[in-house]
């Protein structure tokens, strides 16, 4: 190496300071780590405080937060080896929701009119909703191979049908 490394920092222009939106997320499978996601904040330099189970708070710097290109806000994921009870950035705080607790899945959903008491019916066509169609994907190599094989067979079948129709038409014309 020829000297100390150079660090280049790019800061967006004309962006107002904004507080983050925090979420404490738990893994779907056992053995994973809890994550505190801090989204949509500016400026980049902030301190995230993680309150762990049975331990003193742990402080993390958001200096490695990622800048979103279109909205010019920063995003940062903080994690520790221990389960996270709550996380805090500036004055914003998020608490981990225990999904195994009774009534945790019965939390009310906001409807388009802003009422928090009425759950949203995803099948209701009269309301404007942010629910969009989702594409189911899989990381399973066997599933991906099977999908590719079925698609190839469909193309081959369509080609065979087209050739047979053309040969039948040609036989009748001549």
Query: Which range is least confidently modeled, 39-48, 84-93, 132-141?
Result: 132-141
Residue 123, pLDDT above cutoff 70: no
Predicted local distance difference test score (pLDDT) of residue 158: 95
Nearest to 38 by CA among 2, 4, 71, 79: 79
Residue 57, pLDDT above cutoff 60: yes
Residue 167, pLDDT above cutoff 90: yes
Nearest to 37 by CA among 6, 9, 70, 60: 60
User: H-type helices in the chain, by residue range?
Assistant: 141-173
Query: Which range is least confidently modeled, 14-18, 93-97, 128-132, 141-145?
Result: 128-132
Residue 126, pLDDT above cutoff 60: no
Assign residue 111 a region: left if phi > 0, alpha if psi is -120 to 50, beta otherwise? beta
Residue 85, classified by CB atoms within 10 Å of its CB into exposed (0-12), middle (13-18) or buried (19+), is middle
Residue 122, classified by CB atoms within 10 Å of its CB into exposed (0-12), middle (13-18) or buried (19+), is exposed
Report domain extents, the chain: 21-99, 142-174
Q: Does domain 21-99 have CATH number 1.10.3470?
A: no
pLDDT range class, residue 145, cuts 50, 70, 90: confident
In angstroms, rounded to a whole number, what is the distance separating the alpha carbons of residues 99 and 50? 20
In angstroms, rounded to a whole number, what is the distance separating the alpha carbons of residues 99 and 105? 7
Residue 46, pLDDT above cutoff 70: yes
Encoded tokens for 131:
């629910």
pLDDT range class, residue 109, cuts 50, 70, 90: very low
pLDDT range class, residue 6, cuts 50, 70, 90: confident
Residue 119, pLDDT above cutoff 80: no
């Amino acid at each position: 190496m020829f000297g100390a490394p150079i660090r280049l920092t790019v800061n967006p222009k004309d962006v107002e300071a904004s507080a983050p939106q925090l979420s404490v997320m738990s893994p779907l499978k056992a053995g994973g780590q809890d994550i505190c996601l801090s989204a949509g904040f500016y400026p980049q330099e902030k301190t995230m405080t993680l309150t762990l189970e049975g331990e003193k708070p742990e402080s993390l710097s958001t200096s490695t937060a990622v800048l979103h290109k279109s909205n010019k806000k920063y995003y940062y994921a903080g994690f520790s080896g221990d389960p996270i009870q709550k996380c805090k950035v500036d004055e914003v705080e998020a608490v981990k929701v225990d999904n195994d607790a009774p009534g945790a899945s019965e939390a009310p959903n906001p409807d388009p009119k802003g009422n928090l008491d009425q759950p949203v019916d995803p099948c209701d066509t009269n309301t404007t909703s942010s629910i969009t169609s989702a594409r189911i994907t899989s990381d399973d190599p066997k599933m991906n191979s099977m999908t590719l094989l079925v698609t190839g067979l469909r193309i081959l079948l369509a080609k065979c049908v087209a050739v047979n129709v053309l040969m039948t038409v040609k036989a009748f014309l001549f």
